[in-house]
Amino acid sequence: MLNPATQQLEAVHREPLDGRVAFTDRPRVLFPLILLIALAIRMVVVYFSYRNLPDADKYCERFGWEVGWVARALAGGHGFSSPYSPISGPTALVPPLYTGLLAEVFRLFGVYSLKSGFIILSLNSLFSTLTCIPIYFSAKYSLGIRGAKIACWAWAVYPFAIFFSADRVWEYSLTSLLFTTCFCIAQRIQGSARPIAWIGFGALYGLAALSNPAILAVLPFLLALALWNARKAGRPWLLLGALTVVSLLMVLAPWTARNYRVLHVICPVRDNFWLEFYVGNFGDTSEPNPPPLHPASNPLELQRYLSLGETAYMAEKHALAVDYVRRHPQFFVVVTLRRVVCYWSGFWSYSHEFRQIEPFALPNILYCGAMTLLMLRGARRLWRENRNAALPYLVLIAIFPLTYYVTHSWMDSRQPIEPAIVVLAIAGWIAGRSVQSGADESIHSVSMDVQRRSVYEHVFVAGYAR
C-alpha cells in the first residue's frame, strides 16, 4: 500500500508534459512515417500521369510550357534560349533554377521522353514531400507541437500539394520547399546574433528567388520584422540586415549579369512581367490567363515575338498594356477585384464556356472557399493570441499575391504560400482548443518541472518525518 506522497509522485510521472512528446511523436520518428506516406501518395499519382507527358505538342502545359522548351534548348546545346516551340535567341522569360534541373533530366534521360517525365515528376513529388519538414517546424513555432503534427499530416494528403507536384512539370514544389524553409528561418532568425546565420538566410532566399522571383516581394517585410525583433534584443541589427541583403544580391548577381550581357536589360531573374500584365489586362476576361494573347498559344503573337526579339517584344507589351489601362481604368479595377476573388475562392466565371475548360470549377470553388475561411479564422486567432507569431503569416497572405492580382491569378499562382495557408487553416480548424506556441510550451514545460520538483520535496519531507 503506497503512502499518499508516493501516490502523488507517481501521478505526476504519469501526467504527460505538454513541452515533451512521446517517442513515436518525436520528429526523428514522425518524419519518416509522414514522408513515406506523402511520397507514396504522390508516386501513385505520378504512375498514372507521367505517361501523358511525352506528347509535348498535345501536353505542353504539363511538360512545362516555356520551362520545357528552354530546357530542351539547354539539353540540345543552344544555351538558355528558345522559350517557345521554334529555336530562337537567348531568353530571361523563365527562372533558371528549375529550368536547369529539367534540362539535366532531359540530358540524362532524353528530351520529352517517357523516362524524363517519370523522373521530373518524381523529383517534384520528392520536393513536395520534403516540404513537410519546414511546415512542421514553422507550425511548431506558431501552434505548438500538436498543431505542427496536424499541419504536417495535412500537407501529406493535401490535394493541391499532390496535384501540382505529381501532375505538373513546373517549379511549384521546388519553390514551396525553398520558400517555406526561408519562412521557417525568418520566424526564428532574430534569436541569432551569428553573422553566418543571416548570411545563410540571404543566400537561401536568393536561391529560392531563382526558382520563382515573386517571393522577393515578401522579403523586405519578413526581414524588417526579424530586424525589429533583433534590435529589441540588443543585437547589431544594421549589420545583420546588411549581411542578409549582400548575400542575397551575391546569389542573384551572376544571373543578373548574364541577362544584361545577352539581353541588354537589367533583370535580376526574369523579364516577363509586362507580358503577363498585358495578357491579363487587355480586354479578354474569358479565362484568368487567356491563351489568345500569349505567344505560347497564338501563332501571330509568336511571329511578333520572333521578329522583334524578346527585349523589344516585352517593351511593346509594356507600352500597349499601360496605354490600355490608362484608357480603361474601370476595366482594370474590376478585373483586378475579380482576380482577388479568384485567388482566394477559385471562382472566375461559371459560364458554360469556362466550365468546358475547367470542368472541376465548382468543387474547386467549394474547396478553396473552405480553406480560405479556415485560413482567415486561423489568422484571426493567431493575431489575438500571439501577434509575433501571426505577423509573418499576415505578411505572406497580404503581400505575396499582389503581383498576381494585377496580372492573372489561378490556383497555381498561390503554390509558394500554400504551406502557410495550410498552417493557418489548421490554426482555424483547432480554434478554441488548447494549442500553445513553441515559446508557450517551453514556459509551460518549465512550470511543470517546478511542480515536479515541489512534489519530490514533499515526498522527501514526508519520508524524513516518518
Q: pLDDT tens track of the chain, all 466 residues? A: 444 443 433 333 333 334 444 444 566 778 899 999 999 999 999 999 888 777 665 666 668 899 999 999 999 999 999 999 899 999 999 999 999 999 999 999 999 998 999 999 999 999 999 999 999 999 999 999 999 999 999 999 999 999 999 999 999 999 999 999 999 999 999 999 999 999 999 999 999 999 999 999 999 999 999 999 999 999 999 999 999 999 999 999 999 999 999 999 999 999 999 999 999 999 888 888 888 889 988 999 999 999 999 999 999 999 999 999 999 999 999 999 999 999 999 999 888 888 888 888 888 999 999 999 999 999 999 999 999 999 999 999 999 999 999 999 989 999 999 999 999 999 999 864 544 444 444 334 333 333 433 433 343 333 433 4
Give the separation between CA 175 and CA 170, rounded to whole angstroms. 10
- DSSP state for residue 16 in the 8-state scheme: P
**C-alpha pair distances (Å), 313 with each of 45, 316, 364, 392:** 39, 5, 35, 38
Predicted local confidence at residue 287, as pLDDT: 87
Our separate counts of H helices and E strands in the chain read: 21, 0
Look up residue 455 and give its three cell numbers.
512534489
Predicted local confidence at residue 430, as pLDDT: 86
Predicted local confidence at residue 295, as pLDDT: 93
Question: Taking the model in full, what pTM does it have?
Answer: 0.86
Give the separation between CA 187 and CA 392, rounded to whole angstroms. 7
Give the separation between CA 228 and CA 321, rounded to whole angstroms. 39
Q: Residue 436 CB: number of other CB atoms within 10 A?
A: 20
Amino acid (1-letter code) at residue 63: F
Give the separation between CA 251 and CA 205, rounded to whole angstroms. 9
Predicted local confidence at residue 30, as pLDDT: 80
Reduced to 3 states, what is the DSSP secondary structure of residue 347?
Answer: coil
Predicted local confidence at residue 162, as pLDDT: 97
Predicted local confidence at residue 58, as pLDDT: 62
Give domain limits for the chain.
19-169, 174-270, 272-435
Give the separation between CA 198 and CA 63, rounded to whole angstroms. 37
Whether the Cβ atoms of residue 144 and residue 435 lie closer than 8 Å to each other: yes
Residue for grid cell 468543387: 363
